[in-house]
Amino acid sequence: MSGNQPATPPFVFIGYAREDEKAAKTLYDGLARAGIAAWLDDKHLAGGDDWEKRIKEKIRKCKLFVAIVSATTVSRDEGYFRREWRMAIDRKSGIADDVDFLAPVSIDDTASNEEARVPDEFLAVQWTRLVGGVPTEDFLKRANRALGSTDRKRRTVKNEPLAVSASRIGSISSAYSLAAGELPHIVKFVVSGPHSLRLLIRGLGPAVSRTGLPNPVMDPLLRLYAGKALVAQCADWTREPEPKRQAIEKATDAVGAVRLHPGDAALLLELPPGAYTAVASSASGQLGNGVFELYPLDERKEV
């Protein structure tokens, strides 16, 4: 009887263009090392399988659909990966809005805008940049939440500051929780080298309110300090002057980050070498969860 069949463990589905197979396998292996179940056609389809039937079945059953987006997918007018995207979007139409299901992943410099040639539904959700398919800690946490993990421990203050430079590949991203009686989320970093560095720093609440993050902080506040001196702060990026808002939007698109919503906080600034402390909290003292992000923007290789 069907009632005696074991339940299928929750898993992540990875959809990709054939040219991006190496990155897809890198992501699959990274998830596996973290104990996160994933499904990849190259790993699970055998000779003689009805591959299209199996793929449709797995998209219907997965907990998180990862769509690998790249220069390859942008360049291709057709491909089975685009059919997979549509299957996932059809599935999402029957899922509650606050459930994190669609997870576009850029494996190169492809940004989350119209030039990515993805469905509009992908532009409305959180993107992640995983260079070469290497999963970040933040993405692993997102996958765990989507699969039903209850491990949502708050990230605490780092004992050692992070070194940030123009030659650093990638970004800093971490989910955090503001709980009663606890400190705000603090990230210490150092701009190294002889040159100043342009940075985009973001505190997200409204922008991730529909990605499955529970109880998001709807009025995140960002403060940046050099020692004890306040360098800059932001409580709602839409209140910034129009030229600065346009610059923030341009920088957001350039790094492939999820689009900001009214109420999110964002700082776009150029910092000289030195030690800095970023503090993420709530403008009204609200308790809840948010996401902190830091993106180096400069292209210089020598720092």
Ranking 132-146, 149-163, 200-214, 254-268 by mean pLDDT, the lowest is 149-163
The conformation of residue 152, written as its DSSP 8-state character, comes to -
pTM for the full model? 0.51
Q: What is the pLDDT of residue 2?
A: 42
Helix, strand, coil abundance in the chain, percent, nearest 5: 30, 25, 40
DSSP 186-197: EEEEEE-SSS-E
Q: Give whole-number Cα distances, 169 to 80, 109, 180, 301, in Å.
A: 31, 11, 35, 10
Asked if residues 76 and 85 have their Cβ atoms less than 8 Å apart, the reply is: no
Mean pLDDT highest for which of 16-30, 67-81, 96-110, 151-165?
67-81
Please say if the pLDDT value at position 107 is more than 50: yes
Of the two residues 282 and 161, the one the predictor is more confident about is: 282
List the domains of the chain with CATH numbers. Answer: 2-146 (3.40.50.10140), 162-296 (2.60.120.380)
β 12-15/64-69 pair status: parallel
Give residue-wise pLDDT tens across range 118-176: 999 998 888 988 888 888 888 998 999 998 854 433 333 333 445 544 444 346 777 78
Phi/psi for 250 (5° steps) reads: -65, -45
Model confidence at 30, in pLDDT bands (50, 70, 90)? confident
Please say if the pLDDT value at position 302 is more than 50: no
Q: What is the pLDDT of residue 34?
A: 79
